[in-house]
Amino acid sequence: MSDARIEPQDVIQMVESYVSKQLHDAEKYTNSEPLDQSGVWSLHALAATIYARGFEDGERAESERNNGQRRREREAEIAAADAASRVVL
């Protein structure tokens, strides 16, 4: 249980809401089993892992957008330098 990852408060609240519903359903229906503490911890760990993956995907997407912008800027500088060299000739 030491593999702690960031789980934002709104995700914690969604997981806890889900757990509460599952516990309520287990009391209400005979064919529903309640989550034990290990199951709740595992659910939070899963939510944290999913959140981390989404965060990492967002960082990669932002990096790709920045790379595209830098590439366009370099291409524009090269084109401007090329045009300036033609004017000199």
Residue range 26-62, pLDDT digits in tens: 888 888 788 788 888 888 888 888 888 888 888 999 9
Within-domain flag for 3: no
In angstroms, the CA 32 to CA 42 distance is: 18
Tokens 């249980």 correspond to what residue? Answer: 1
Helix (H, G, I), strand (E, B) or coil at 34: coil
Within-domain flag for 4: no
Residue 80: which domain range?
9-88
Single pTM value for the model = 0.52
Within-domain flag for 26: yes
Within-domain flag for 2: no
Domain count, the chain: 1
Taking CA 73 as the corner, what is the angle to CA 63 and CA 77, rounded to the nearest 5 degrees?
A: 155
- Radius of gyration, CA atoms only, the chain: 26
65 band by pLDDT with thresholds 50, 70 and 90: very high
